[in-house]
Amino acid sequence: MSSDDLRSFIHLLEQADQLARISTLVDPYLELAGIVDRVSKGAGRGRGLLFETVQGTAMPVAANLFGSLERVGWALGTTDLEETAHRFAADLLATGEVDGECALRILSGKEEWQPTIGNNPVCRTVNHSRQGLRVLPLVTAWPGDGGPYLTMAQTYSRPPDGGALNCGMYRIQIHDSHTATMRCRSGSGAARHLAAWHARGVAMPVAVALGGPPILNWAAAASLPGDVEEAAFCGYLRGRPLSLSNCQSCDLQVPASAEVVIEGVIEPGATRSEGPFGNHTGSYDVETVAPVLKVLSVHAREGAICPWTLVGPPPMENIQLARATAGLFLPLVRMSLPTLRSLHLPAEGMFHRAALVTVDPDEKRPLKEVARLLWGTSLLKGARLLVIGAADHDPRDPSAVFWRVLNRTDWQRDLLIENSQMAIDARRLPSGEPVHCDPGVLAKVYARWHEYGLDGDD
């Protein structure tokens, strides 16, 4: 089932009646995003969208392709994400490592999963370097945004010493035909690489790919250790290696089947204003300065399609990508905390890694120790909120968790705040007996229900 490129994935969605083609002319300034916003929140059966006629460009726009957990599974090459997580858990254990990140490095480092390098890649069929970024759809999502953004771009970089190739998803604001800004948060792979290049006084080479195997869109947004190459891990997950292509201007690789490839450099000290940007918090990130990406070349496939995602108040398709990551990476978290039973990231706190977890009844370690183990994992690193519940919690029911937390915690004893991160210990069971209906009376009520005249109120 695994798709090798964006087009085969679109075809798969269309065959499954999970895609809507929009042939009507659509304005990339706000209108396109307005349609995506409604569909991502349930209109149009939440299908993926292919905007075939976008004003100002010959390039169609694909959006909301990952708008359901099922479709994210298809992108990862599976119809059963839970089964994939079980296989991942078994393979991690088979490495013999007790540390999850070490096991992941061994698994991803196997020769059979390393990408192949293809010749004459389709991603370089058409040279748009003269027109530059103006060949792309200039999509502006929200009225207060500072300009058009690429929001589903895979950004490739590596350290100056030639270390692991990093694939990350960072927002890119288009300023003109050959200038963009790239916003990469502190601690991200690209930010670390940028600091290393600029410490040497040298411009950092950057490659940006749009499209290619859809599994890479997921991996670019996932939380992998810095020395684990996303392309190799994707090869493991789908059971066969990816095909990459060497860049023309630098020692980087991009998907050979990408729709568009942008090559450029970020020179030391080169910054300019970026933003504002309407974010998942429901408010705009304020205008700030960001590194300038100087575009050297733009190549594309014949009839290229631009993937794009809307970022804003949930639900959006990025929530489904993150849910898949949480389910798939659960085995990694369990290697750090074997007593972990279940984990749920509510949509409202997904991108703050707010997590509701349950642990086995015999997990008696203090809150500080358990919380630090969870914060030490790649998935929950930086989580602003952890709620650690007892075995009778269902973390998928936030209302029930909220009720239990308020009734079972002593804030003096069960609250931990460190480095702007908070953990709540709700494991302690109440001292009194649980309140339940008398079984005999409950059976009598069910048996006589029709006599009460309440049948229409069920």
Q: Specify whether 154 is located in the same domain as 253.
A: yes
Q: Specify whether 391 is located in the same domain as 298.
A: no
Structure tokens at 28: 């990339």
CATH of the domain at 127: 2.30.110.10
Task: Give the Å distances, CA to CA, from 195 to 92, 237, 273, 382, 458.
Answer: 32, 31, 19, 21, 62
Q: How many domains does the chain have?
A: 2
Q: Specify whether 177 is located in the same domain as 302.
A: yes
Tell me the C-alpha distance between 414 and 427, whole Å.
9
Q: Specify whether 363 is located in the same domain as 263.
A: no
Q: Specify whether 172 is located in the same domain as 85.
A: yes
Domain membership flag for residue 74: no
Domain membership flag for residue 332: no
Q: Specify whether 391 is located in the same domain as 258.
A: no
Q: Specify whether 243 is located in the same domain as 368.
A: no
**Using CB atoms within 10 A of its CB, is residue 322 exposed (0-12), middle (13-18) or buried (19+)?**
buried
Task: Give the Å distances, CA to CA, from 7 to 44, 258, 291.
Answer: 21, 10, 32
Q: Which residues contact 346 (CB under 8 A, 6 or more apart)?
A: 354, 356, 398
Model confidence over 246-268: pLDDT tens digits? 999 999 999 999 999 999 999 99
Domain membership flag for residue 5: no
Q: Which residues contact 276 (CB under 8 A, 6 or more apart)?
A: 144, 145, 146, 284, 285, 286, 287
Q: Are 69 and 34 in contact (CB under 8 A)?
A: no
Residues of the chain with pLDDT under 70: 1-2, 351, 456-458
Q: Specify whether 229 is located in the same domain as 282.
A: yes
Q: Specify whether 205 is located in the same domain as 257.
A: yes
Q: Which residues contact 239 (CB under 8 A, 6 or more apart)?
A: 2, 77
Domain membership flag for residue 150: yes
At residue 243, the pLDDT reads 97
Peptide bond into 315 cis (omega under 30): yes
CATH of the domain at 356: 3.40.1670.10
Which domain does 341 fall in, by range? 337-426
At residue 395, the pLDDT reads 86
Q: Specify whether 247 is located in the same domain as 208.
A: yes
Around Cβ 102, how many Cβ atoms within 10 Å? 15
At residue 457, the pLDDT reads 55
Domain membership flag for residue 364: yes
Q: Specify whether 391 is located in the same domain as 286.
A: no
At residue 189, the pLDDT reads 92
Domain membership flag for residue 372: yes
Peptide bond into 276 cis (omega under 30): yes
- Written in H, E and C, the secondary structure of the chain is CCCCCHHHHHHHHHHCCCEEEECCCECCECHHHHHHHHHHCCHHHHCEEEECCECCCCCCEEECCCCCHHHHHHHCCCCCHHHHHHHHHHHHHHCCCCCHHHHHHHHHCCHHHCCEECCCCHHHCEECCCCHHHHCCCCECCCCCCCCEECCCEEEECCCCCCCCEEECCEEEEEECCEEEEECCCCCHHHHHHHHHHHCCCCEEEEEEEECCHHHHHHHHCCCCCCCCHHHHHHHHHCCCCEEEECCCCCCEEECCEEEEEEEEECCCCEEEECCEECCCCCEECCEEEEEEEEEEEEECCCCCEEECCCCCCCCHHHHHHHHHHHHCHHHHHHHCCCEEEEECCHHHHHHCCEEEEECCCCCCCHHHHHHHHHCCCCCCCCCEEEEECCCCCCCCHHHHHHHHHHHCCHHHHEEEECCEEEEEECCCCCCCCCCCCHHHHHHHHHHHHHHCCHHHC
Domain membership flag for residue 276: yes
At residue 2, the pLDDT reads 67
At residue 45, the pLDDT reads 96
Domain membership flag for residue 457: no
Of 171, 225, 159, 163, give the one whose Cα is nearest residue 198. Answer: 159
Q: Specify whether 376 is located in the same domain as 293.
A: no
